[in-house]
Amino acid sequence: MKLSKWSDLDDQAVAVTRALAMDAVQKAGNGHPGTAMALAPVAYTLFQRIMKHNPAEPNWIARDRFILSSGHSSLTLYLQLYLSGYGLELEDLKKFRTYNSLTPGHPEYGHTVGVETTTGPLGQGVANAVGMAMAARYERGLLDPNLTTNIFDHNIWVICSDGDLQEGVSAEASSLAGTQGLGNLVVIYDDNRISIEGDTHIAFTEDVSARYKAYGWEVMEVATKKNGDVDRNKVEEVLLKAAKLTDKPVLIRLKSVIAWPAPNAKGTAKSHGAALGEPEITATKQLLGLDPNLTFNVPTEVINHARKVKERGAELFKDWSTKFELWKKSNPVQAQLLSRLQNQELPQAWSKDLPTFDSSADLATRTASGKVMQSIAAALPEFWGGSADLKDSNNTTIEGGRSFLPANSKMANAYEFGRIIHFGVREHAMGAILNGIALHGLARPFSGTYLVFSDYMRGAVRLASLMKLPVTFIWTHDSIGVGEDGCTHQPVEHLAGLRAVPGLDVIRPADANEVVVCWKEIIERRKPVGLILSRQNVPVIDRTKYLPAAGAAKGAYVVAHGSESSKECDVILLATGSEVSIALQARLILAGENIKARVVSLPSFEWFTEQPVQYQEEVLPKSVKARVSVEAGVAQPWYKLIGDCGVPVSLEHYGASASPATLFKEYGFTPENIVVAAKESIKKASE
C-alpha cells in the first residue's frame, strides 16, 4: 500500500479532533473524552490512510469494517465519520448525547451511517468482529470458491479497551478466532491502564500479550513516545504489517495515556468518563496550538484536507467496480446469488420441499427442526451456523456441510468454507459472533444450545434484538421434559424472561408440523428469533381430527373448538409446546362432562400480538372469561391473556432429577389437573 507523506495538515487535523472531543463532552455535560483524545491519531490514521472504504458507498461489500468495541468512546468514531464525510457535521457533534441526535452516547447500528454495529456493553464488539471475519470467509466461499479473485477481500479493524478484554465474551471469541486462523481480523488494544475505578491493575494484571499468543494470535506491541503521546509512525508501521498477515488474527497492544495532552487530566480516571472543565480544556488547547477561545472550531483547510479521503475512496471503488463487472460476466451464477442476497430476497418456491409429518409416531420438536433445517439448507446456501458443542443434541447441523475451519486445519472433515460452525462451549461468544455474521450482510446464521443456557447468551441476544438482526437462536431441552439432568438443566423462568426482550420473537411450537410452519415464518420475517424446542418426544397432532398447523404462522390459533358442531365454548385452554397435546387430552375429558373447551396453541406471543384485533378476538373472544394457561414455566407472561378469571397451570419453582413423565405428573401437567383448573376458572367467571 503506497501512502502519501504525513503532512502538517494531518497534524492539525489530529489536534482539532482532540479539541472536538473535549468540546462535545463539555457541551453535553457528560461523556467520555479521554480515550477519544488519546486515540485521535490512531483512528485518524486508520480512516485516512489504512482502511479500504468509500464514504459515498457506505454499504460497499468489499469495504473494510471498523468496530469501536469500546463504545463509550463513541466520539473516537463519530469524529472520523465527520472528518471523512459520512454525513455527520459539526451540528451533529454539538448535539452529542442529546435526544434524536445522530451522535448518541454509544454508537448505534442503523442509526448513524458508518456505524457497523451497536457497541457499549464491553466485549461485544470484539466478538462481533470475530463473526464478521468468519462471515467474510464464508461469503467468499459462496461467491468465489475457487479463489480466482481478490475483489471480496477486506479486513475487520477493531479498537478495544482494557474493559473489553476483561469481559469473558471477548476471551471466548478471541480463543475461537485463533482456532479459526482469522487473518482478516486486527484488534487494536488501547492499553491505557485506566477504567472508572482507576488503575486497572487493581483487578487486571495478566499478561495480555502472552494470553493472545496462546490463543494463536500474532501480537505486536507499540510503546508511547517519551512525551506520552501515541507513537503514530510506529502505529502506522504495525497497521500495515498487520494488514499483510493472512493466516492468523493480530492483536496490536498499544500503550497510550488517556486524555493526552491535558496537563492535569491525562492519565486519570476522571478523564475516562467526565467533562474536563473549561480551565483544563483551555490549557489543553494551548498545548495543542489551538485558540482556547474557540469551540467546535475546524479550519476550512483542515476539513477540506481530511475530506480528500472521499477522493481516495472513490478511486478505490472505481477500480474495484471495473474488476467486479468482469467478475459478474465470468460468474453469472454467483453474481445472481450475490444480487439476491444483497436485496434480501429468497428464491422462488424456496420452501416447496419443506417436510410434513404424519401422526403415526411421536417426535421431539428438536428432531423435527433438524429435519426442516436440511431442507432450508438445500434451498438457501446463505443458511449457516452451528452450536455450542451440542450439534447432535440440538439437531443443529447441516448434513454434508463439512466443518468451518481454516485451510491449514488438520481436523477431519475440515473445509475453509464449511457450513458447520463449531463454537465450542462458548454460549455468549456464540451469540455475539452470530450478530457479527448477520451484520456482515449476506448470511442467515443460526446457533444452538439448551434453553437454560440462554442465560449465558443474554447480552448478545439483547443486542441482536436492539439491532433487529435476522439471527435464529435455537434453544432446545425446553422444560422439565429434560428429565434426569435435574433442576440445573430445566428452564423455568427462561420463557418469561426471553419474552420480556423487546424485538425478540420467542417461538415454542407444539409439534413437528408447527415446527415446519414456524421455520418458514422465521426465514421470511428476517427478525431475531428464539426457537424453543423439546428434548422429549411429543405427539404429532392428527390434523385430520384437529385444525391445520398453518395457523401457527399467526402466533396463536384454534387447534380444536369447543365441540365438533359449534365454535362456542365454556373455557379456553391456551398452551405452548409439548403442553398443547396435554390440553387436547383435557378437552376430551371436559367434553365427557358436557363442558366445551377450546384449545388454542400459542407458539408466539409476539406474532399473535401483531395480528389484527379482529383475528385476536376470533381466537380469544372477550366474552369467554374462563381461561387456563398451560406451560411448564412461570406463569408471569400469561396473566395478560387469561385475565382475572384465568387459572394458570405453571411451574413456579425449580425442577428435580427424575423422568419427564414423573415430573409432568408430580408438577401437575396432566389432563386431570387441567380439568380441575378449567372448572375453577369457569366458577370464577360465573361469580
Catalytic residues, by residue number, are 427
First to last CA, the chain: 82
CB 473 within 8 A of CB 530: yes
**Coil, helix or strand for 449?**
strand
Give phi and psi for 231, each to the nearest 5. -85, 90
Locate 270 and state its grid cell. 476522571
CB 508 within 8 A of CB 496: no
Separation CA 673–CA 677 (nearest Å): 6
Q: Which amino acid is at 179?
A: T
Separation CA 687–CA 682 (nearest Å): 9
Separation CA 243–CA 246 (nearest Å): 8
Cβ neighbours for 81, distance < 8 A, ≥ 6 positions apart: 87, 88, 112, 113, 114, 115
Give phi and psi for 297, each to the nearest 5. -95, 115
Separation CA 363–CA 516 (nearest Å): 13
**Coil, helix or strand for 382?**
coil
**Strand residues in 129-249 grouped as ranges (E):** 156-161, 185-191, 194-195, 198-199, 218-222
CB 599 within 8 A of CB 584: yes
Separation CA 245–CA 243 (nearest Å): 6
CB 556 within 8 A of CB 600: yes
**Coil, helix or strand for 209?**
helix
CB 84 within 8 A of CB 95: no
Q: What would the 3-class secondary structure string for 451-513 be?
A: HHHHHHHHHHHHHHHHHCCCCEEEEECCCHHHHHHCHHHCCCCHHHHHHCCCCCEEECCCCHH
Give phi and psi for 500, each to the nearest 5. -80, -10
Separation CA 655–CA 553 (nearest Å): 31
Number of H helices, E strands in the chain: 27, 20
Separation CA 218–CA 246 (nearest Å): 11
Separation CA 125–CA 131 (nearest Å): 10
Separation CA 309–CA 296 (nearest Å): 21
Sign of the CA dihedral running 196, 198, 204, 208: positive
Would you tell me the crossing angle of helices 168-180 and 427-440 to the nearest 10 degrees?
A: 70
CB 659 within 8 A of CB 680: no
Locate 388 and state its grid cell. 455450542
Query: Residues 611, 615, 618, CA angle at the centre, nearest 5°?
Result: 150
Nearest to 445 by CA among 501, 512, 376, 509: 376
**Coil, helix or strand for 519?**
helix
Query: Could you tell me if residue 653 is left (phi over 0), alpha (psi between -120 and 50 degrees) or otherwise beta?
Result: beta
Separation CA 222–CA 215 (nearest Å): 20
